[in-house]
Amino acid sequence: MADAVLDIGVNVGAKPVAVHARRKHGPARWLVLALLVAAMAFTLFPFLLALINGIKSSIDYAANGPLSIPTSIDFSAIAKFWGISDFTLKLVNSVLISGAVAVFGTTISLLNAYAIGVGKVRGSRVILVVLLLGLMIPQESIVYPLYFMAKSSGLYDTQLSVIIIFSVLQSAFGTYLLSSVLGSFPREILEAAEIDGATRWQVLWYVLVPVLRPTLMVIATFFFIWTWNEFLIPLVFLVSNSHQTVSVAMGLTRGQNLADPVLQAAASLMGITPTVIFFLIFQRTLTRGVVVGAVK
Amino acid sequence: MAAAAQASYARHQRGYYLYLLPGAIGFLLIVLIPQIANFVLSFTAWKGVGTPRWIGTQNYERLIGDDQFWGSMIHTLLFIISMTIIPVLIGLVLAALLFDYIRDQFGERLSSFFRAGFYLPQILPVTTAGVLWGWILNPVGVANIILKAIGLGALAQNWVGDATYALPAVSLMIVWIQVGYCLVVFMAGLSRIDPALYEAAQLDGAGWWQRLFAITVPMLAPEIFVVVLTTMIAALKVFAPVFVLTAGGPDNATLVPSYLTYYHFFTTQRVGYAAAIAVVQMVLTVVLATIFLRFQARQQATE
Amino acid sequence: MTSLSKLALVAAASLTMLSSAAMAQQKTFNIWWFEDPTSSEGIAWTKALDEFKAKHPDVTVNFQQKTFQQLQAAGSMILNSDQAPDVLEYNKGNATAGLVASQGLLTNLDDYVTKEGWDKILNSGDLVLSKYDDKGIYGSGHVWGISVYGEYVSCFYNIDMFNKAGLKVPTTIDEWVADMDAFKKQGITPLALGAIDTSGQHLLASLAYTKADDTWVQNYQGLKAPLDGAPYLYAAQTLTDWVSKGYISKDSTGMKDPDAAQLFMSGKAPMYVSGTWNLGTFASTIKDFKWGQFVIPTPKYSVGSTGNLWVVPKGSKNADLAAEWISLTLSPKYQTELANDGGVAIAADPSTITNDVGKNAAAVFKQISDKNGLGFYPDWPVPGYYDVLNQKDTGLFQGTLTPQQFVDQIKKVYDDAQASQ
């Protein structure tokens, strides 16, 4: 019974395919589950460390170290970091920048991939490799040139500069992924649309984008998370505190000679919460399982 | 007739070039021009402020004799194991496990829950991950405490402070971070595969491992290629995990080119030298990536 | 009123408004520092800023809490742009303040020194790191920045543990070794150390300074001659000896300073060699035992220096206000304030200090500074030497480098830099 409901749930959004035959529920499944739970515990353990130290008092940490359970719950580190970093503002900035990069980066990737994967323009292979260069460059090597370009165009210390930089850099990955997906897209559908008189633009927006939505969401999610955690370029380009992102503000936990571990733990908890929420929201779209190939 | 069709096809093709315009402008401004600038800088001596001084190939000559540099190259290649090979393998098995087994046996929700959990390390900023793993890997940290508790105290080591174990220790954190990325990409790709294939195979008597090799891996080929290429490139650029855990040590045992360039760009302010290292690093990456892309093209052509 | 008069009135009114708007626009004062807000400097300066704001109600005073990380990586880039403030805290030394001074990014403060009387408050030793020549080398040239606090490295010790073991504060290295030996015999590792971090380097340098004379220190810090490795050889040999005797754990190469500090704060290790930047944390979080610090016994030099500098970027339109700010933080009122918040005041009147920690710190600093015994830090001469010393330290502590190899390797890097000046 439950399986039948699950089958329908799994196939929502996709054209229905063969109904799942019921798998036998062997005892082996509990062993596999146990192993997976153990693997998860290992994976999540460092987060636990962040949690128990973020809500610890400094005195407790001094006396008992990072591996002890807090003797009492103390939110002062969280409160302190929130205050000195003006965390609400930093959150807004990070969401703004990461969100903008997710949108613009995905759009650029889509446009590029359309030309390369579907349009198959002359020199596609070469163009793809060249665009991939964007993925290969070590960021340290472009900081100084970009700094001078930003200064002379008046974009230094603006969020726009960071958005532009990351949209371009991230689009290298998006282009690569999307063009390989689009390259194997069934031609019949595209030709059918063209015969119906659709322009290139209409084919892109009305035929391809709906089908590509899950892949586009995956790419946008990646871009959001990767941009959120970037720190070198924001550190150099976002001078004013009011423009800075969460990752730059993390520098407040480490001074010239001292690091405050409790503050670091608290800051990390605060820093990852929005991205976790973002990921959980978009994970739902990922499970809607629309398939590129099964559009018969 | 044929000529007209060809001409219109050519015109049709040209129209697609327009779609490349935004990407091309962005590439020019953000990638090409800075890279050329970096290349030019590699022939100068410069402190980041003031005017660069032309010194010809001196930086490159210095590079050739720099043991640290060669060591860093070797280390970054070694990191391909922990950034690419191991996470891809684990990612494939986990993806197949979650998609092909857990989903049937326990349902979609649990499968998604596991996927989210394994992906979580990707969400953490690496600097924070470094602090947390520092607590695990330091001599009085969790790793050694657990080893002692289960009686394997003899295996307890100075994980980040001993040159023999530092690279593997950093690699462990890197695997922890990377598996989630591979897993999510693979699972997104798996949703592409017609479940009927698995049904048919199962009815034919194929076990789970056989299904993995006969169906999952070949069908996921595009995703596998993407993940291998991107993680390989990331391995050659790896910086943050080394920066936070070992600072390139002990005694340069975990030094990587990106750390060396950061050091010279921002600490010693030997910008010209750093630019030269970055150029060599870039060339190496391009060479390896091209080899890989050729391999990928050949594989896909024979399908 | 005739229309002409009305016009004149409107014109006059607009002009007044415009000019006061213009004046209001000019009177924005931007100030940055990166000391933690809960540190002694942070607390004292925040109070000073309140007074400063009250004194200048017509000025919009904008303070930004910066991070050391940002100024270290992008400091010269920020100073080279329009985003630089009117006054900011900047790291002292050739590689940082010296570099930007030599590139013309700072305002020359020579006139203010005499006008504001800073040379009456600070002695010549306190001004050494304020001066940089046109190559960016400290010690001579114009004054580009002013320090208002000090820092030094000492050995923090657990008074209760010492008393319990019947030990006294050492006045010579031999006595220090004897104390460590006594702890070792009880099964306690005496010295906590973050070998891959600053405390490792500072212990190394402190030991080197026991064999260093004036010439050596001046040559070393001034990059004047190839490295005379003898003091470092002694230090390296001593450290290797101490590791083999178990005074320092071999595991210390896996520890960063916070880890080592935590060993001290939890009462597991009786001693920890590090700088006065720990005073605030220790004062607020160590509740279980009494603690103190003793100066590492050297003939003259200690690892330490005057604190970070207040610098005025070249583009600042409010140099006078900046100078006034500097004077305020250097004033007796706020020097005492700093000391009472537990910091190392550079020029406080001891009779006005009520905080024990601050009183002691100011006294020790004054003692070192008066005899010109500030040896600065071991990584200063060569940009990036910090990483080199870290790497080689770990080799030394781990035993993969012999003391001689250690000295040879750090000498190589030093000599390279020295020759290519």
Q: What's the pLDDT at B173?
A: 93
- Using an 8 Å Cβ cutoff, are B164 and B277 in contact? no
Q: Which of A15, A40, A136 to mutate to test the interface with B (most CBs of B within 10 A)?
A: A136
Q: How confident is the model at residue A1 (pLDDT cuts 50, 70, 90)?
A: very low
Chain C positions touching B61 (Cβ under 8 A) are none
Segment B114-142 shows an average pLDDT of 86
Q: What's the pLDDT at C9?
A: 67
Q: Return the closest-CA partner of residue B165 out of B73, B246, B84.
A: B246
User: Tokens 């660069």 appear where?
Assistant: B52
pTM over the 0.90 mark: no
Chain A positions touching C256 (Cβ under 8 A) are 259
pLDDT at residue A289 greater than cutoff 50: no
Cβ distance C253 to B264 less than 8 Å, yes or no, reads no
Cβ distance C198 to A257 less than 8 Å, yes or no, reads yes
Q: Which two tokens stand for residue C355?
A: 């905080």
Segment 236-295 of chain B within 8 Å of chain A by CB: 236-237, 239, 257-258, 261-262, 265-266, 271, 274-275, 278-279, 281-282, 285-286, 289-290, 293
Segment 197-236 of chain B within 8 Å of chain C by CB: none
Cβ distance A264 to B131 less than 8 Å, yes or no, reads yes
Q: Which of B9, B11, B41, B105 to mutate to test the interface with A (most CBs of A within 10 A)?
A: B105
Q: What's the pLDDT at B206?
A: 80
**B54 — phi, psi (to 5°)?**
-70, 130
Average pLDDT along chain B: 87
The helix (H) or strand (E) run that includes residue C389 is helix C385-398
Q: What angle do CA C70, B167, C197 make, to 5 degrees?
A: 45
Cβ distance A43 to B118 less than 8 Å, yes or no, reads yes
Segment A119-137 shows an average pLDDT of 83
Query: What ranges make up the beta strands (E) of C77-224?
Result: 87-90, 131-132, 142-143, 145-147, 150-158, 191-192
User: Tokens 């050297």 appear where?
Assistant: C298
Nearest to A138 among B132, B222, B261 (CB): B261
Q: What's the pLDDT at A20?
A: 47
In a domain, A63, yes or no: no
Asked if the C-beta of C303 comes within 8 angstroms of chain B's C-beta atoms, the answer is: no
pLDDT at residue A284 greater than cutoff 70: no
In a domain, A278, yes or no: yes
- Residue A109 forms beta bridges with which residues? none
Q: How confident is the model at residue A271 (pLDDT cuts 50, 70, 90)?
A: confident
**What domains can be seen in chain C, in order of their start residue?**
26-149+307-330 (3.40.190.10), 152-304+377-419 (3.40.190.10)
Q: B207-232 pLDDT, tens per residue?
A: 878 888 888 888 888 788 889 999 99
**DSSP category for residue A259:** B
Q: What's the pLDDT at C22?
A: 52
Q: B37-50 pLDDT, tens per residue?
A: 999 999 999 988 88
Q: B233-255 pLDDT, tens per residue?
A: 999 999 988 888 888 878 888 99
Q: How confident is the model at residue A133 (pLDDT cuts 50, 70, 90)?
A: confident
What CATH number should be reported for the domain holding residue A144? 1.10.3720.10
Interface of A with C (CB under 8 A): 58-59, 61-66, 80, 84, 147, 151, 156-157, 232, 235-236, 239-241, 248-249, 251-252, 254-261
B255 to chain C: closest CA residue: C391
Nearest to C83 among A58, A64, A240 (CB): A240
Distance CA A42, CA C279 (A): 37
**What domains can be seen in chain B, in order of their start residue?**
2-58 (no CATH), 60-301 (1.10.3720.10)
Q: What's the pLDDT at C245?
A: 94
Distance CA C390, CA C388 (A): 5
pLDDT at residue A19 greater than cutoff 70: no
Query: Hey, is B247 helix, strand or coil?
Result: coil
Q: How confident is the model at residue B109 (pLDDT cuts 50, 70, 90)?
A: confident
Q: Which of B251, B254, B264, B273 to mutate to test the interface with C (most CBs of C within 10 A)?
A: B251
Listed in sequence order, the DSSP H helices in B18-85 are: 21-26, 33-41, 58-64, 67-80
Q: Tell me which of B184-193, B277-286, C65-74 is least confident.
A: B184-193
Cβ distance C196 to B139 less than 8 Å, yes or no, reads no
Q: How confident is the model at residue B26 (pLDDT cuts 50, 70, 90)?
A: very high
pLDDT at residue B4 greater than cutoff 90: no
Q: What's the pLDDT at C17?
A: 61
Q: Which of C96, C251, C268 to mutate to test the interface with B (most CBs of B within 10 A)?
A: C251
Chain A positions touching C267 (Cβ under 8 A) are 63
Distance CA A114, CA A121 (A): 10
Output A120 or C123, whichever has higher pLDDT: C123
In a domain, A159, yes or no: yes
Closest CA of chain C from A64, distance in Å = 6
Query: Hey, is A27 helix, strand or coil?
Result: coil
Distance CA B261, CA A129 (A): 24
Q: Tell me which of A277-291, B101-115, B252-266, C263-277 is least confident.
A: A277-291
Asked if the C-beta of C195 comes within 8 angstroms of chain B's C-beta atoms, the answer is: yes
C274 to chain A: closest CA residue: A257
Output A200 or A235, whichever has higher pLDDT: A235
Q: pLDDT tens digits for chain C (421 residues)?
A: 566 766 666 666 666 565 555 554 558 999 999 999 989 999 999 999 999 999 999 999 999 999 998 998 899 999 999 999 999 999 999 889 998 999 999 999 999 999 999 999 998 889 999 999 998 889 999 999 999 999 999 999 999 999 999 999 999 999 999 999 999 999 999 999 988 789 999 999 999 999 999 999 999 998 889 999 999 999 999 999 999 999 998 888 888 898 899 999 999 999 999 999 999 999 989 999 999 999 999 999 999 999 999 999 999 999 999 999 999 999 999 999 999 999 999 999 889 999 999 999 999 999 999 888 999 999 998 888 998 998 898 889 888 899 999 999 999 999 988 887 7
Distance CA B121, CA A31 (A): 25
Segment 197-226 of chain B within 8 Å of chain A by CB: 199, 202-203, 222, 225-226
In a domain, A73, yes or no: no
Q: How far apart are the first and last CA of chain A?
A: 28
Work out the number of other CB atoms within 10 angstroms of the CB of residue B294. 10
B25 to chain A: closest CA residue: A168
The chains in contact with chain B, meaning 3 or more Cβ pairs closer than 8 Å, are: A, C
Residue type, C274: S
Q: Tell me which of A7-11, A36-40, B153-157, C396-400 is least confident.
A: A7-11
Segment B47-69 shows an average pLDDT of 90
Chain A positions touching B125 (Cβ under 8 A) are 229, 231, 247, 250, 268, 271-272
Asked if the C-beta of B137 comes within 8 angstroms of chain C's C-beta atoms, the answer is: yes
Q: What's the pLDDT at C10?
A: 63
**DSSP category for residue C345:** B
Segment A200-204 shows an average pLDDT of 85
Distance CA B188, CA A222 (A): 13
In a domain, A51, yes or no: no
Q: Which two tokens stand for residue A128?
A: 């793809």
- ipTM of this complex: 0.85
Q: What's the pLDDT at C2?
A: 64
Segment 349-408 of chain C within 8 Å of chain B by CB: 382-384, 386-387, 390-392, 394-395, 397-398, 400-401
In a domain, A233, yes or no: yes
Q: What's the pLDDT at B249?
A: 75
Size of interface A-C (CB pairs under 8 A): 94
Give the domain extent around A121.
86-286
Closest CA of chain B from C15, distance in Å = 41
Distance CA B30, CA A174 (A): 16
The chains in contact with chain C, meaning 3 or more Cβ pairs closer than 8 Å, are: A, B
DSSP of B200-234: HHHHTT--HHHHIIIIIHHHTHHHHHHHHHHHHHH
Chain B positions touching C69 (Cβ under 8 A) are none
Q: What's the pLDDT at A6?
A: 26
Q: Which two tokens stand for residue B33?
A: 């021009």
How many domains would you assign to chain A?
1
Output A105 or A210, whichever has higher pLDDT: A105
Chain C positions touching A236 (Cβ under 8 A) are 73-74, 77
Q: How confident is the model at residue A288 (pLDDT cuts 50, 70, 90)?
A: low
Query: Hey, is C252 helix, strand or coil?
Result: helix
